[in-house]
Amino acid sequence: MRQLIIGVFTYSFAIAQTPEYLNNQIDQLADRLERKVIDWRRDFHENPELSNREFRTAEKVAAHLRSLGMEVQTGVAHTGVMGLLKGGKPGKVVALRADMDGLPVKEKVDLPFASNAKGIYQDKEVDVMHACGHDNHIAGLMGAAEILASMKNDLPGTVKFIFQPAEEGAPLGEKGGAPYMVEQGVMDNPKVDAIFALHAWPGLLGTAQYRSGPMMAAAERMRITVTGVQTHGAKPWGGVDPIVISAQIINSLQTIIAREVDITEVPAIVTVGSIHGGVRNNIIPEEVVMEGTIRTFKEDVRQQIHASIRKKVEMIAEASKAKAKVEIFSGIAKVTYNEPSLTEQMLPSLWRVYGEENVMVRPFVTGAEDFPFFADHAPGLYFFNGVVEDPSSAYSNHSPYFFADERNLKFGMKSMAQLAVDYLYLNQ
């Protein structure tokens, strides 16, 4: 009951701080802009671009922001775009972020605007698709930018629009994504006081999901190289078989989470996603390379998992007279952490857009994001925007069948605009 009373009070406080005519203006403009935002989304969906190659996307975004009278910076972290909207009154600086890159996936959704785009990924030509909903993020934030630009004179502060490349990861050998944007100063000049972002999610259309504190996992890439002694497949005793040893290692790694980590506190993941070795059916190769991912929510659990991986891999290899090398690449994505006080303060904004009954706390998400690199420099709030009518039959993000109902776009556009306006008025 006490939480309910606090929630109602906070909601009333937020509404009291933001002029009602601005709230109504957000609603009216979102209705008016919906068709335009849908058209943008269809265009981006039909013309996706891979990480650090979002040239056409960035050009369209920059042209739109310039048409709204903003200061626009392009070429940030290769293809990123930043727009600055200065309000008519002094105040805080709030940032809104959308990611722009597609994935090397061949679309299998039957749409009139389905992607037939191609790109180069790891030196190979691949199909490209917006299989993670970033097309929705771009179009929705462009709509929010138009809404906020129309009320510029009433804003007590500044809004920074960050259109980010390479959220899915920069090509090998290149810098990219949120860390590179931060390195190039997007959170400074002027310094950002709070940052918000959303993600299209196969949750129920018209709902939002969030979690205060840690929400999404830290992600690390793992590579294990097992070196044996090559021999004829008909004479396995003449060498050391890295394929059999790799199989033992894979099975052993699965016991780390199942038997060593207390998953009643927070979840964790160790997954081997690829294994490569050998060229012929009758040759035992010299080397096998495995790659995988590690997902964690706490630093002590992360260190525990690292130590266990290294020990198991090295001891299994040694017991079979092989050599093994473990490499763990960190810094890909840290824990996505929603600052609790900011989350509590801004929940009424989401309630206004979705309805209080449609804004829900969700369990931990073992997927990962690079949004935390922005949130290292200002408190952040990241949430999921539901995009399907029937979550039970929906395909997940990164699937070639991933589909987002276009009606989600108005919710995304409105929520980003509402968060920006409410934050600036609440923190005058």
pLDDT in tens, 266-322: 999 999 999 999 999 999 999 999 999 999 999 999 999 999 999 999 999 999 999
Question: Over 70: is that where the pLDDT of 71 sits?
Answer: yes
- pLDDT at residue 325 in the model: 98
- pLDDT at residue 408 in the model: 98
Sign of CA dihedral 178, 412, 146, 189: negative
- pLDDT at residue 6 in the model: 45
- pLDDT at residue 2 in the model: 42
Average confidence (pLDDT) over 126-148? 98
Joined together, the tokens standing for residue 402 give 């991933």
Average confidence (pLDDT) over 177-191? 97
Mean pLDDT, all residues of the chain = 95
pLDDT in tens, 325-376: 999 998 789 999 999 999 999 999 999 999 999 999 999 999 999 999 999 9
Question: Over 60: is that where the pLDDT of 89 sits?
Answer: yes
Question: Picking from 130-134, 185-189, 261-265, which range would have the lowest pLDDT averaged per residue?
Answer: 261-265
Question: Over 70: is that where the pLDDT of 5 sits?
Answer: no
For the chain, domains (ranges, CATH) are 2-215+336-426 (3.40.630.10), 218-332 (3.30.70.360)
Average confidence (pLDDT) over 103-121? 97
Question: Over 60: is that where the pLDDT of 68 sits?
Answer: yes
Placement of tokens 């009154």 in the chain:
89
- pLDDT at residue 289 in the model: 98
114 near 180, Cβ under 8 Å? no
Report the percent of the chain where pLDDT is more than 70: 96
Q: Quick one: pLDDT band at residue 42, thresholds 50, 70, 90?
A: very high
Amino acid at 324: A
- Asked, as a colleague might, if the bond just before 190 is cis with ω within 30 of 0, I would say yes
Question: Over 50: is that where the pLDDT of 3 sits?
Answer: no
- pLDDT at residue 332 in the model: 82
pTM of the full predicted structure? 0.90
Question: Over 90: is that where the pLDDT of 15 sits?
Answer: no
Give the distance from CA 250 to its chain's centroid: 28
270 near 305, Cβ under 8 Å? yes
Average confidence (pLDDT) over 98-111? 98
